[in-house]
Amino acid sequence: MTAGGAALDGRSRSYMDRLLETQNQPDPISRRHHYVPRTYLKRWGFGKLKRRIWNLDTITGEVRALSVNDVCVGENFYRVVGPDAQAHNRVESMFSVADMELARVQALFENLQDPDELEFDDLIGLGVTVAVQRMRTAQQRRLRLQHDAWLVAQNPKQFESMSDPMDPYRVAGIHTELLFNSMWQSADVMTTRSIEVWDDPEGRFWTCDTPVLVPFLNNKRPALMAAPYILWPVSPYRVVALTNAPSGEKAVIRQAAPKDRGLLKKSIEQGRERWIFAPPEQRDRLPKTKLFNRRTQMRLRCSQYTPQHKYLEPPGCCVEQAEGFSVGPDVVLCDRGLHSEAPAMCEYT
């Protein structure tokens, strides 16, 4: 719909212009960069200004209330080196533009009563918000590093790794460059889907540190185009569900069935990187005795087919890359001598 960002007008054009303008702004001072906006998380918050949020740390098993300042944050997470060889934080300014659009779209779907009021720009806004939020997390960065370790092992002489101990900001630079280069294309994938808005009058929806969720099917995450659901909780009362079943409507609002709530809960428990967030009334329901030994990992399989479904004669093969739900990188490849083992992938488990 945006032709990969080339055919933008209206609000989307101005969004892109605001993103580009941040290049000329002064460097933000903060070194603590949030990969899930604090304003987003406050919908689940409580207390004065809704700044505190109940969460389960799936690594330690602790349930605590923390400030939204202290979750989903990384020191220098978006600090990169510019063309002038100087490190700077201006990517953080670009994300603050993305955060403002996220806040607008979040409020829009949280309060939406009549889907006919949605404008074309709102659909683009939703697509780009979901696409950017999915890609900008610590989980996606870790998966990139796993992938990088795989590529280095396959071609140690030529492939230039994104990870360089002499250049601590290189990983952030490559991650964010890929993200901004692909954001409109990814947004187009989102905008071709049908929008469902799930409503729960009792406010029982949770969220997590990977707030855009693509549910696993048999421990494998389907490709975005094929995924039956892409889920984005916008508040304890509302989830935006992008489906691949055509509805013929701009959006459909419906009350969430128990199976919808179950799908979201399972997607959060499996898809989270570390933290799960619940509204205060739900804090005792957080699964603190559950063993969280699996999470999202790279999944590699040999295939006789290319992504375009072309058959490859043996001994040739094509390595299918996907995301899986497992304890560590899930690599099962043929033994024809075409692939090298990549134990370094496990450093990013």
Contacts with Zn ion, residue ranges (CB under 5 A): 302, 317, 333-334, 338
Exposed/middle/buried for 271, CB within 10 Å: 0-12, 13-18, 19+? buried
Give least dist CB 302 to Zn ion, A.
Answer: 3
Alpha-helical segments (H) within the chain: 10-21, 38-41, 90-111, 120-135, 138-154, 170-191, 258-271
Structure tokens, 109:
């779907």
Give least dist CB 316 to Zn ion, A.
Answer: 8
Give least dist CB 229 to Zn ion, A.
Answer: 31
**How far is C-alpha 310 from the geometric centre of its chain's CA atoms?**
30
Give least dist CB 303 to Zn ion, A.
Answer: 8
Place of tokens 């054009």: 13
Q: Which is nearer to Zn ion, 154 or 244 (CB)?
A: 154
Structure tokens, 208:
């997590």
Q: Is the dihedral of CA 27, 32, 37, 42 positive or negative?
A: negative
Give least dist CB 211 to Zn ion, A.
Answer: 35
- Residue 225 and residue 274 in contact, taking contact as beta carbons nearer than 8 Å: no
Q: Which is nearer to Zn ion, 98 or 331 (CB)?
A: 331
Give least dist CB 157 to Zn ion, A.
Answer: 20
Q: Which is nearer to Zn ion, 110 or 320 (CB)?
A: 320
Listing DSSP states for 277-333 in one string gives EE-GGGGGGS-TTS----EEEEEEEEESB-TT--B--TT--EEEEEEEEESS-EEE-
Q: Which is nearer to Zn ion, 108 or 333 (CB)?
A: 333
Q: Which is nearer to Zn ion, 178 or 302 (CB)?
A: 302
What is the spatial distance between Cα 299 and Cα 330, in angstroms, rounded to a whole number? 5
Give least dist CB 213 to Zn ion, A.
Answer: 30
Q: Which is nearer to Zn ion, 302 or 344 (CB)?
A: 302
Q: Which is nearer to Zn ion, 128 or 317 (CB)?
A: 317
